[in-house]
Amino acid sequence: MLTPDLTSTIRRFILKPLASDSNRDYQPPGTLNVSLTIILLGGWVALLWWADQQSHWAPKIAIGFLFAFSGLTIYTLLHEAWHQILHTNRSINDILGTLLAVAYGGPFTFLKHTHQGHHQRNRSIEESFDIYYNEEERTRRTVFFYFTYLGGFWLAVPLTSLVFIFAPNLLHGWLARRDPSVGVMLRGIPQRQFRRIRFEALGVFALHGTLIMALGLHWSTWMLLYGMFGVCWSSLNYLGHAGAPLDVQEGAHNLRTNPVFEKLLLHFNWHLAHHQNPEIPWLYLPRFNDPRRERPGYLRSYIKFWGGPKPAPRERGGE
């Protein structure tokens, strides 16, 4: 009898050989990506400054929405850099990725390694955040779920950066033992990269501090805009995986959404296509639709998502 993992592997090789053979023909849109990066980083600074000039909270919050949603595009470009498909030149790719990571709020190397680990662990027990496996852990999973997707997902990045700077030994000690998901993520980062990540983390805080002083920003403006971005990004980032099959490669969705919003996301809603073809740049992902799979609606999936964790299916620990 074939195991689910073996069956999944055979299905991938039988059903998708042509797509993987042609992947080499899709080059990153380097000039477009460089232009978008420059525009978005300039806009990031401009929105912070503009919000700080407002004397009332209402216009600050309105600008915060622009900041939060433009941050989704910044994240997609950063995600391209992690996969070395932001630009064909490795140095340009990593320089732009580092700048985008500063805007996002974390060290490029740390984020890159944790994301690479995500592609190895997707929909595993450690990364099935929308399901629980027994009644004993239901409450803990539910609390974790709402904390994470109401902003904690993003907040974990600057907090972990502080640990890298001041107490890096904790990362392979207490923190790694405290939670299985944190443990597998941190153990996936090579020890030799810790010094580099620590240096990058210092750079992120230094650049944000310099920016705040140079623009004369009040700390409350920075916290408001980044708080709004953190909630926006955290609440949307796992949507492409929630309810998907418990399979490393197939465990994602190609979500249907408004064409304007899809352009803002740079096709990040085509997340199954990305997991099946991680070397394909964002511009071409809609060409890799999987006809075997339904495309759920983005808004309906978002509303359904907030129902919280569901029991695991029978083949993965359900009753």
One pLDDT digit (tens) per residue for the chain, 319 residues: 344 443 443 344 333 433 444 566 799 999 999 999 999 999 999 999 999 999 999 999 999 999 999 999 999 999 999 999 999 999 999 999 999 999 999 999 999 999 999 999 999 888 898 999 888 889 999 999 999 999 999 999 999 999 999 988 777 665 556 665 566 667 668 778 889 999 999 999 999 999 999 999 999 999 999 999 999 999 999 999 999 999 999 999 999 999 999 999 999 999 999 999 999 999 999 999 999 999 999 999 999 999 999 998 865 544 4
Does the residue 90 lie in any domain? yes
Question: Who's near 5: CB < 8 A, 6+ residues apart?
Answer: none
Does the residue 19 lie in any domain? no
* pLDDT for 34: 98
* pLDDT for 223: 97
Copy the structure tokens of residue 67. Answer: 């900041």
Does the residue 1 lie in any domain? no
Where does the chain show beta strands of DSSP type E? 131-132, 310-311
CA separation for the pair 153, 237 (Å, rounded): 9
| CB neighbours of residue 120 within 10 Å | 11
Alpha helix ranges (H) inside 53-128: 57-82, 90-104, 108-121
How would you label 168-189 residue by residue, b for 16+ Cβ within 10 Å and e otherwise?
beebeeebbeeeebbbbbbeeb
Question: Who's near 140: CB < 8 A, 6+ residues apart?
Answer: none
Does the residue 126 lie in any domain? yes
CA separation for the pair 294, 253 (Å, rounded): 8
* pLDDT for 60: 98
* pLDDT for 267: 98
Does the residue 150 lie in any domain? yes
CA separation for the pair 111, 82 (Å, rounded): 8
* pLDDT for 294: 96
Does the residue 271 lie in any domain? yes
Does the residue 158 lie in any domain? yes
Number of domain units in the chain: 1
Tell me how far apart the 2 most distant CA atoms of the chain are, in Å. Answer: 68
- Which residue is it, tokens 């904690």? 152
Burial of 314 (0-12, 13-18, 19+ CB in 10 A): exposed
- Which domain range does residue 276 map to? 27-310
CA separation for the pair 64, 166 (Å, rounded): 31
Contact, 120 vs 189, CB < 8 A?
Answer: no
Does the residue 243 lie in any domain? yes
